[in-house]
Chain A
Amino acid sequence: DTGVSQNPRHKITKRGQNVTFRCDPISEHNRLYWYRQTLGQGPEFLTYFQNEAQLEKSRLLSDRFSAERPKGSFSTLEIQRTEQGDSAMYLCAQDRGDSPQETQYFGPGTRLLVL
């Protein structure tokens, strides 16, 4: 048990609907990442936060995607006007934020299916 939790674990939605996922952190781990993982692929970086500041965003993160981390605690990832291509596993991870060599602790993921 890494201590990182994600909710919901599964989400089925219709194309065009908005969805929001939540990641609850390990305390004192100040860097938080979001990844997307599709079948047969490794996790793809989407964005990361240092405390409440969003410091980097991937080109994969279109304007339909937005992530927040109010107060540097839990984080949410929202997808607006979902498309079938958004179907994937969305992973949240954290590390202590001291350097790039830190171990990342992953949550179990939220599996999204867009019909």
Chain B
Amino acid sequence: AQSVTQLGSHVSVSEGALVLLRCNYSSSVPPYLFWYVQYPNQGLQLLLKYTSAATLVKGINGFEAEFKKSETSFHLTKPSAHMSDAAEYFCAVTSTGGFKTIFGAGTRLFVKA
């Protein structure tokens, strides 16, 4: 069975500071990992995904994530937060075993001026 744990339901950073959103996964088969972002009153949209090609994945809006198999982690980072980054972020996992996607509970990012 697959699962995703996002540490911290809320994260607050100052504008210009480092953003770090944590995600740990559990999967018995090689996983595909995703980060989606949800802005208020909008649908989820993909930030980036890991599909076994490269462990460091770059996404949109300056975000990146690193797949660490030994730590079963896929943390999301951005060097410098912008006010427009305030949103809810979801980590998700699928696998070669099927198409069912498991999402984490989400982390709401607040950016202070």
Contacts and interface: CB of A to CB of B under 8 A. Distances in A.
Contacts, number: 64
B99 to A, nearest CB: 5
A103 interface: yes
Contact of B90 (A43, A55, A109): A43
A18 B10 CA distance: 36
B101 A45 contact: yes
A43 B105 CA distance: 8
Q: How large is the interface on A (under 10, 10 to 19, 20 to 34, 35 or more residues)?
A: 20 to 34
Q: How large is the interface on B (under 10, 10 to 19, 20 to 34, 35 or more residues)?
A: 20 to 34
Given A2-B45, A108-B42, A41 B51 contact: no
A107 B45 CA distance: 9
Interface of A: 2, 4, 31, 33, 35, 40-45, 48, 55-56, 58, 91, 93, 100-101, 103-109
13 contacts: A35-B103, A40-B105, A41-B105, A42-B105, A42-B106, A45-B102, A56-B99, A100-B32, A100-B94, A100-B95, A100-B96, A103-B34, A104-B46
